[in-house]
Amino acid sequence: MLTLFAFSIGNNLYGIEVGRTMAFVSLGMLELVHSFNIKSEESIFKSGIFENKYLIGAFLLGTALQIIVVIIPQIAEIFKLVPLNRTQWLYTILISFAPIVIMELQKWFNEIKFGKRVYMQYEKQN
């Protein structure tokens, strides 16, 4: 839904090419950002965002690749992407970080409603 939202904003405000580019970037970034949410059932602020160096590295590499694909004209042409201006990048980045807010609210709600985390942890049986 967030990818479609990014496309809709880009398409309605700037045209189909920008909408397609914003959707492409947000799709990749949404998954990279969401990887921090799913690494733990606890809040990302409690679980230590910077503890997993491989996750940080994958996030940085993935982000760099997303940016490279958009800003290098020869690569962008392959994907039929167009350069984004600052406002378009801002929209895309804000949408891409929305899963953090959404998942944190869900974790908080689950904690209040159920008094515990909803997801079961599997323990090794002896």
Q: For residue 124, tell me if it sits in a domain.
A: no
- In sequence order, the 6+-apart residues with CB closer than 8 A to the CB of 68 are 75
Q: How many domains, the chain? A: 1
Confidence of residue 119 (pLDDT cuts 50, 70, 90): low
Confidence of residue 118 (pLDDT cuts 50, 70, 90): low
Residue 9 near residue 22, CB atoms below 8 Å: yes
**What is the rounded average pLDDT of the residues 95-100?**
92
CA 1 – CA 56 distance, rounded (Å): 25
pLDDT at residue 73 in the model: 95
The burial of 99, by beta-carbon neighbours within 10 Å (0-12 exposed, 13-18 middle, 19 or more buried), is given as buried
Q: For residue 23, tell me if it sits in a domain.
A: yes
Residue 117, pLDDT > 70, answer no
Q: What are phi and psi of 43, to 5 degrees?
A: -55, 145
Domain region containing 32? 2-114
pLDDT single digits (tens) 55-74: 999 999 999 999 999 999 99
Residue 50, pLDDT > 80, answer no
Q: For residue 119, tell me if it sits in a domain.
A: no
Higher pLDDT, 18 or 50: 18
